[in-house]
Amino acid sequence: MTAENVLRALKAVSAGRAEDAVLSVRDLSVRFRLRGGRTVEAVSDAGFDLGAGECLALVGESGCGKSVLASALLGLLPGNAETSGTALLAGPEGAAATDLLAADEKTLARTVRGRRVGLVPQSPAAHLTPVRTVRSQLEETVRALTGTSRRARRRAAEDAAGRAAFPAGHLDRYPHELSGGLAQRAATALALIGDARLLLADEPTTGLDRDLVDRTADELRRHADDGRALLLITHDLAAAERIADRVAVMYAGRIVEIAPAHRFFGPAGPRHPYARGLLDALPDRAFTPIPGMPPELSALPEGCAFAPRCPLATELCSTRPEFTADLACHHPEHPRA
C-alpha cells in the first residue's frame, strides 16, 4: 500500500461521520408518476455522508438511479417526480445547513447551484448554451460568481479550461463544433469555476481516452484535496479506484454497500454479491458478466431486488434486507483475503 493509499484509508475510516459531513443524505427516495397510475421507484431510501476532502464514488449498472439521485440534490427533477428524505448541505462557515430537498427553487438557483454545489452533468451538450462560445460561457460564469474585472475573468476562464484539459485553441468554438469529449471537458471546466464546496460529477470521463480520464480524475481529486467534497458518479471503476476514498454501490434504486475504496478494490473485496459481480465483470479481473438483467423500477419485488441474479440467494431473500453496517444483504460474501 502506498503512503497515499494509507492516508486515504485513514480518511475513509473517519469519513461518514455526520458531524463532519459537507453533505448528509438520509432516506432519500425519488419516485416518478407515470400516466395510468404507474410509478417508477428510481431511488429508494438512499443514505450516506460525504466529508470535507473526501471523494465518494457512486457506481452501479445503467438505470439504477445514480443521475436521478444527483438531480434530486440540485432540485433538477421534472414535475412528475416526488422526493422525500433529507439532504443536509453544511452551511458556509458555521451558518445553518440547508436541506437541499426542502429548499425552494429561488434558494437553489441563487445560492446553491454553481456556488455551493457544482455539477458536471452527464449530458454536457444539453447544458452548454448553443449560441455562445465556450470562452464566453466560462467568462460569464466567472462574472456571475465573482464579478471580477474583464482581464481577471479571462484569466480565470482560461485557468478553468486548463484544469479540465480543455485546449486553449478551442475556447472560441461553439458547442456544436465540439466533439463529445471536448464538450465533456468544457462542462467540467464550467463546474470547476465556482470552487463549490460540494462537486457532483456525473460520468465526467465519458468519451475521453485513458490519459485524459486519468488527468480529469486527478483534477477532480485535487478539488477534493483542497478540502471540498466530491461525489463521483461513474461506470469507470478504474477512475473510481484511482481517486475515491469510499465506494457506494447502487442496485435498482438502492445503495446496497458502502465500502472503503482500499477494501473494495483490494484483496478483501466488497461483501455484497452484486458489488462482487461488478468487479468480477471487469476485463482485468475474472471477466465474468453478472447473469440476467436488473428489474424494472416500476415493478420492484418485495424482497431483495438482486435475488434472481444472485448465486447466494435463499428463501430469506424474499424479504428485503435492511441497510445496516454499510451493507444490505442477508448472506454477505466473506472477505477474499
Ligand X SMILES: Nc1ncnc2c1ncn2[C@@H]1O[C@H](COP(=O)(O)OP(=O)(O)OP(=O)(O)O)[C@@H](O)[C@H]1O
- Tell me which long-range contacts 90-98 makes (C-beta under 8 A, separation of at least 24): 90/21, 90/22, 90/23, 90/197, 92/116, 92/197, 97/24
Distance CA 335, CA 270 (A): 7
**How many residues bind ligand X, per CB under 6 A?**
14
Q: How far is the CB of 198 from ligand X (least distance, A)?
A: 18
Question: Looking only at residues 21 through 40 of this chain, which bind ligand X when binding is defined by CB under 6 A?
Answer: 32, 40
- 3 C-beta neighbours (distance < 10 Å), count: 7
> Of 63-71, 124-132, 167-175, 262-270, which part binds ligand X (CB under 6 A)?
63-71
Per rule CB under 6 A, is residue 307 in the interface with ligand SF4?
yes
* Binding-site string for Mg ion from residue 241 to residue 260, where x marks contact by CB under 5 A and - marks none: --------------------
Q: How far is the CB of 313 from ligand SF4 (least distance, A)?
A: 4
Per rule CB under 5 A, is residue 67 in the interface with Mg ion?
yes
Among 11, 143, 170, 331, binds ligand SF4 (CB under 6 A): 331
- Could you say which of ligand X, Mg ion, ligand SF4, none residue 298 binds, taking C-beta under 5 to 8 angstroms by partner kind? none
Question: Looking only at residues 257 through 296 of this chain, which bind ligand SF4 when binding is defined by CB under 6 A?
Answer: 273-274
Q: What is the DSSP letter of 303?
A: S
Among 68, 89, 237, 304, binds ligand X (CB under 6 A): 68
* Binding-site string for Mg ion from residue 149 to residue 188, where x marks contact by CB under 5 A and - marks none: ----------------------------------------
Question: Looking only at residues 94 through 133 of this chain, which bind ligand X when binding is defined by CB under 6 A?
Answer: 122
The residue number with the shortest CB distance to Mg ion is 67
Report the chain's C-alpha Rg in angstroms: 20
Q: Which of 283, 237, 229, 243 is nearest to 60 (CA)?
A: 237
Q: How far is the CB of 276 from ligand SF4 (least distance, A)?
A: 10
DSSP string covering 260-283 = EHHHHHSSS--SSHHHHHHHHTST
| Closer residue to ligand SF4 in complex, CB, 212/313 | 313
Buried b (16+ CB within 10 A) or exposed e, 303-331: bbbbbebbeebeeebeebbebeebbbbbb
| Closer residue to ligand X in complex, CB, 51/181 | 181
User: Where does residue 284 rank: exposed (0-12), middle (13-18), buried (19+ CB within 10 A)?
Assistant: exposed
C-alpha distances in angstroms, 159 versus 4, 127, 142, 165? 27, 20, 11, 10
Task: Spell out the residues 6+ positions from residue 311 whose beta carbon is closer than 8 angstroms to its own.
Answer: 273
**How many residues bind ligand SF4, per CB under 6 A?**
13
C-alpha distances in angstroms, 198 versus 119, 154, 220? 9, 24, 11
- The answer to whether the CB of 48 falls within 8 A of the CB of 25 is yes
Q: How far is the CB of 51 from ligand SF4 (least distance, A)?
A: 28
Task: Spell out the residues 6+ positions from residue 223 whose beta carbon is closer than 8 angstroms to its own.
Answer: 192, 195, 199, 230
Per rule CB under 6 A, is residue 304 in the interface with ligand SF4?
yes
* Binding-site string for ligand SF4 from residue 197 to residue 236, where x marks contact by CB under 6 A and - marks none: ----------------------------------------
Per rule CB under 6 A, is residue 251 in the interface with ligand X?
no
Among 3, 321, 324, 337, binds ligand SF4 (CB under 6 A): 321
C-alpha distances in angstroms, 333 versus 209, 287, 307? 34, 19, 14
Where on the chain is the footprint of ligand SF4 (CB under 6 A)? 273-274, 304, 306-307, 310, 312-313, 317, 321, 329-331
Chain contacts with ligand X (rule: CB under 6 A): 32, 40, 42, 62-68, 78, 80, 122, 297
